[in-house]
Chains A and B, each alone.
Chain A
Amino acid sequence: MIKLVGVEKTLGGQPVLRGVDLDIPAGKLTTIIGGSGGGKSVLLKHVIGLMQPDRGEVWVDGIEISRLKGRALNDVRKKFAMLFQGAALFDSLTVFENVAFPLREKLRLAETEVARRVEEKLEQVGLSGMGHKFPAELSGGMKKRVGLARALVMEPEIILFDEPTTGLDPLMANTIHDLIVGMHRTFGFTAVMVSHEIPEIFLISDWVAMLKDGKIAAMAPSADFQKTTDPAIREFISVGSMASLKS
């Protein structure tokens, strides 16, 4: 279970998070929505300990991680995988080696098993046969999918997805959503997703939270969230739905 208590963070003199209180239920798919530049990526980085809060606490499975260092932090991170907004592929490694990286480094599997799992994941994200390419030779959407394969291949307890479908065509976005939901059903990991895909996220998420002005403005089960009466939230999600209808 992940829990943020009063997390505040100022970056470059600009307050980004101003007291985030968030309870992320274990084994569920929770989606965080919110305006661009609102601090969603910063929030995810606090959950995995890449950023430390100026004030407040971050709890993961009963451990307060924001003051952890070295080996203790590494042990907590072994539960996680993360898909970065910019994919963050290692550009000196091929696609295959990128996806294999956590398997080799963390799980130390035999090479045949590594190859099997990597091929399987690459096929699921629609990139089979692309293993020998380097990230620089891929489109933005393809990089995103390699990043997704790298996050999913570990089958960890918690996966953070930072905008998994941004930059993909609607068909591919659907495929990726199905993949995430399918994997989530099978493995039951805790998923935290940042996404702008309104209204699709209401169909696939268990919970939805909205980050606004550096705070969690609302959090509710996906079905209830759509019925909210808060005018600001209504506006945000209805404009999103309109936009996706037009496109």
Chain B
Amino acid sequence: MLIGLIARIGHGTLFVVQEMGRMLIFLVATFAWLFRPPFRPFQILKQLHFIGFKSTFVVVLTAAFTGMVLGLQGYYTLRKFGSEAVLGSVVALSLIRELGPVLASLMVTARAGSAMTAEIGIMRITEQIDALDTMAVNSLQYLISPKLVAGLIGVPLLVAIADVVGIYGGYLIGVNLLGGNSGSYWSSIESAVEWKDVYGGILKSISFGLIVSWVCCYKGYNTRLSAEGLGAATTEAVVLSSVLILVWDYFLTSVLL
């Protein structure tokens, strides 16, 4: 009974370690193929369109409401201390440092990440990946590398859009609706937001972009060959990449502070 328990814990641990190793090898190999010809700029653009452009709507929507709720909550809280004037900086710092990168990447995971896993998983199940390999076209290079690059470029751009939209959302509520001062909203942002904050946000969004495309591509590429396998892979991809984003966010924040 006890031995059985220990054995199961051991099995679980070994599996996790092996999986981590496999994921790392996958990442390194994909990166290595990126620098070998033939280069596929068109594929990268296509993926950028899919991961980036097509996620713009949900990201803007999320950011707008987040900014608005920050404006609302911030205004009522700050008024208790008579400091509504710094509302702008509260909204901007929360978004730039934290909420912009995290929420945008979570939305990208939900919209584009799950679709990536499903697309690659179907290609695995229907032997399209095998077919690529038989044509001496490396499947990592053809399929995965462009998605990785697109994630690295697309997510930071989306985060930048989210930050701007969110700050305007806060303005809409804090100034237009609740009657705060417009000038102090902007000047408090100007004086409070430092280069360090922006830089930290960019660093976060780049690494989140990597996490999304890495995890989602890996799960799709290694789908078990059945319909349930595909469903499980998609779920695992979304859950794992969301959890990794939040954990990595905590880690980065504690290092950057």
B136 touches A88 (CB 8 A): no
A102 touches B126 (CB 8 A): no
Contact of A45 among B122, B123, B130 (CB under 8 A): B130
1/0 per residue, CB under 8 A from B, across A66-94: the answer is: 00000000110110111010101111000
Q: Tell me the smallest distance from the CB of B116 to a CB of chain A, in Å.
A: 13
Q: Is A113 part of the contact surface with B, judged by Cβ < 8 Å? A: no
Known contacts A84-B127, A86-B127, A91-B128, A48 near B134 by CB under 8 Å: yes
Closest to B119 in A: A92
B127 touches A77 (CB 8 A): no
1/0 per residue, CB under 8 A from A, across B122-149: the answer is: 1100111011011111100000000000
In the bound complex, what is the Cα–Cα distance between A91 and B120 (angstroms)? Answer: 11
Kindly list chain B residues whose C-beta atoms are within 8 Å of the C-beta of A80. 134
A102 touches B133 (CB 8 A): no
Known contacts A86-B126, A88-B127, A88-B128, A50 near B136 by CB under 8 Å: no
Closest to A77 in B: B136
In the bound complex, what is the Cα–Cα distance between A105 and B134 (angstroms)? Answer: 12
Q: Tell me the smallest distance from the CB of B215 to a CB of chain A, in Å.
A: 22
Q: Tell me the smallest distance from the CB of B115 to a CB of chain A, in Å.
A: 13
Closest to B122 in A: A91
1/0 per residue, CB under 8 A from B, across A98-114: the answer is: 00011001100000000
In the bound complex, what is the Cα–Cα distance between A48 and B133 (angstroms)? Answer: 10
B136 touches A81 (CB 8 A): no
B135 touches A106 (CB 8 A): yes
A77 touches B134 (CB 8 A): yes
For B126, B130, B131, the residue with the greatest tally of chain A CB atoms inside 10 Å of its CB is B131
Kindly list chain B residues whose C-beta atoms are within 8 Å of the C-beta of A78. 136
Known contacts A86-B126, A86-B127, A91-B128, A50 near B138 by CB under 8 Å: no
Kindly list chain B residues whose C-beta atoms are within 8 Å of the C-beta of A82. 131, 134
Q: Tell me the smallest distance from the CB of B28 to a CB of chain A, in Å.
A: 14
Kindly list chain A residues whose C-beta atoms are within 8 Å of the C-beta of B133. 50, 77
B130 touches A84 (CB 8 A): yes
B138 touches A74 (CB 8 A): yes
In the bound complex, what is the Cα–Cα distance between A57 and B234 (angstroms)? Answer: 37
For A88, A102, A105, A106, the residue with the greatest tally of chain B CB atoms inside 10 Å of its CB is A88
Contact of B135 among A45, A75, A91, A101 (CB under 8 A): A101
Q: Tell me the smallest distance from the CB of A95 to a CB of chain B, in Å.
A: 15
Closest to B129 in A: A88
Closest to B135 in A: A102
In the bound complex, what is the Cα–Cα distance between A45 and B46 (angstroms)? Answer: 31
Known contacts A86-B126, A88-B126, A105 near B131 by CB under 8 Å: no
In the bound complex, what is the Cα–Cα distance between A81 and B134 (angstroms)? Answer: 7
In the bound complex, what is the Cα–Cα distance between A29 and B158 (angstroms)? Answer: 56
B131 touches A84 (CB 8 A): yes
Kindly list chain A residues whose C-beta atoms are within 8 Å of the C-beta of B122. 91
1/0 per residue, CB under 8 A from A, across B88-124: the answer is: 0000000000000000000000000000000000110
In the bound complex, what is the Cα–Cα distance between A72 and B127 (angstroms)? Answer: 22
In the bound complex, what is the Cα–Cα distance between A106 and B126 (angstroms)? Answer: 22
Closest to B46 in A: A92
Q: Tell me the smallest distance from the CB of A35 to a CB of chain B, in Å.
A: 21
In the bound complex, what is the Cα–Cα distance between A101 and B139 (angstroms)? Answer: 14
In the bound complex, what is the Cα–Cα distance between A3 and B225 (angstroms)? Answer: 29
Kindly list chain A residues whose C-beta atoms are within 8 Å of the C-beta of B136. 74-75, 77-78, 105-106
For B126, B133, B135, the residue with the greatest tally of chain A CB atoms inside 10 Å of its CB is B135
In the bound complex, what is the Cα–Cα distance between A88 and B128 (angstroms)? Answer: 5
Q: Tell me the smallest distance from the CB of A186 to a CB of chain B, in Å.
A: 22
Q: Tell me the smallest distance from the CB of B253 to a CB of chain A, in Å.
A: 39
Q: Tell me the smallest distance from the CB of B122 to a CB of chain A, in Å.
A: 8
Q: Which residues of B line the A interface, CB within 8 A?
A: 122-123, 126-128, 130-131, 133-138
9 additional contacts, CB 8 Å, given A80-B134, A82-B134, A84-B130?
A: A45-B130, A74-B138, A77-B134, A77-B135, A84-B127, A84-B131, A91-B126, A105-B136, A106-B135
